[in-house]
């Protein structure tokens, strides 16, 4: 088990939120500067204790946090935002303009998540509270954010979600990727594409990866989980697996209406590949916790194919 807090670069700390008691599933990134502290990703409310402990282990008082920057509004990335605003009087939350209304009034977000997680909502995510409108800052593509002693540029990166930004540190060339760069646990040579409903869009995702490549990032910081020092290989591996799974799932779903059965088939194939490629059976659990499981991935692809017709050139 690795450390809870790592200083990856001067003034950039990775905090392992120990989601569901498991290491290396969800990271929050603490940025430290003279203008206060900034967090990229809040995690869910169930991991607040780990978040506050991590800030203190890094040598800082949580009340110094002035910016909560979330890549998108899924509960593993932004679920604790409302609760944090109540506890951190100086903080504001910064979010994609499309996602901002759902932090202010999370009722639709919670209804959508409830259909997926059912009775496990509380166990996984804890309480989700609304964010006061006057403490929510809506961001557009290209907006510059001063936070934690640096300047970040919001980069619209839809595909995994319509309300998704990656954030480029314009000084260091590193990119905080959220989920658009997929799941890769502690640099293992395997990139898992998370494809949940409701607004998965494979064509937009491919365009978003192309946009990130064009930035020539020096390094990627993944929410799930940790730094990536080979961005080009990483993007290649992610796209190959994303479109391989999409093509396979599209073919299977055309003849098999039971998404649970298709998900079980994918799990058998993908778990074996992950174990073979990484040589590490223990890697399965953090990957699957981060992704939400294969059923969610197949449900997202099934919904995508209902509304998008595959072409000869691909999806």
Q: What is the mean pLDDT of residues 52-65?
A: 97
pLDDT in tens, 86-103: 999 999 999 999 999 999
Q: Is the pLDDT of residue 314 over 70?
A: no
Phi, psi of 75 (to 5 degrees): -65, -25
Q: What is the DSSP letter of 195?
A: -
Residue ranges in 70-140 assigned as alpha helix (H): 75-78, 81-87, 100-104, 107-117, 121-125
In angstroms, the CA 288 to CA 25 distance is: 9
Does 310 sit behind a cis peptide bond, omega within 30 degrees of 0 on the bond before it? no
Q: Is the pLDDT of residue 266 over 90?
A: yes
Q: Is the pLDDT of residue 310 over 70?
A: no
**Cβ count near 79 (within 10 Å):** 30
pLDDT in tens, 171-200: 899 999 999 999 999 999 999 999 999 999
Closest CA to 175 of 97, 138, 225, 227: 227
What was the pLDDT predicted at 308?
Answer: 83
What was the pLDDT predicted at 280?
Answer: 87
pLDDT in tens, 140-177: 999 999 999 999 999 999 999 999 999 999 989 999 99
Domains present along the chain, CATH in parentheses: 5-236 (3.60.15.10)
What is the pTM (predicted TM-score) of this model?
Answer: 0.95
Return the SS3 of 125.
helix
In angstroms, the CA 73 to CA 115 distance is: 16
């Amino acid at each position: 088990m690795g450390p809870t807090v790592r200083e990856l670069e001067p003034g950039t700390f990775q905090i392992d939120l120990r989601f569901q008691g498991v290491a290396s599933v969800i990271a929050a990134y603490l940025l430290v500067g003279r203008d206060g502290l900034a967090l990229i990703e809040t995690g869910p409310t169930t991991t607040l204790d780990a978040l506050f402990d991590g800030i203190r282990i890094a040598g800082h008082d949580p009340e110094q946090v002035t910016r909560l920057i979330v890549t998108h509004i899924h509960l593993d990335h932004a679920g604790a935002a409302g609760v944090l605003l109540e506890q951190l009087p100086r903080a504001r939350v910064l979010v994609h303009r499309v996602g901002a209304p759902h932090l202010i009034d999370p009722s639709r977000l919670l209804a959508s998540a409830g259909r997926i997680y059912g009775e496990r909502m509380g166990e996984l995510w804890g309480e989700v509270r609304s964010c006061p409108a006057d403490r929510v800052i809506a961001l557009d593509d290209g907006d510059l954010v001063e936070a934690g002693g640096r300047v970040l540029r919001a980069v619209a990166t839809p595909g995994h979600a319509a309300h998704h930004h990656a954030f480029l540190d314009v000084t260091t060339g590193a990119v905080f990727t959220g989920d658009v760069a997929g799941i890769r646990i502690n640099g293992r040579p395997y990139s898992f594409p998370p494809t949940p409903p409701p607004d998965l869009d494979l064509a937009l995702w491919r365009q978003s990866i192309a946009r990130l490549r064009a930035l020539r990032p020096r390094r990627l910081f993944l929410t799930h989980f940790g730094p990536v020092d080979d961005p080009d290989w990483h993007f290649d591996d992610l796209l190959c697996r994303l479109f391989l799974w999409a093509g396979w799932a599209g073919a299977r779903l055309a003849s098999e209406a039971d998404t649970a059965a298709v998900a079980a088939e994918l799990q058998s194939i993908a778990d074996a590949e992950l174990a073979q490629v990484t040589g590490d059976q223990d890697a399965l659990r953090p990957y699957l916790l981060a992704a939400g499981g294969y059923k969610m991935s197949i449900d997202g692809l099934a919904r995508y194919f209902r509304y998008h017709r595959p072409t000869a050139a691909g999806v």
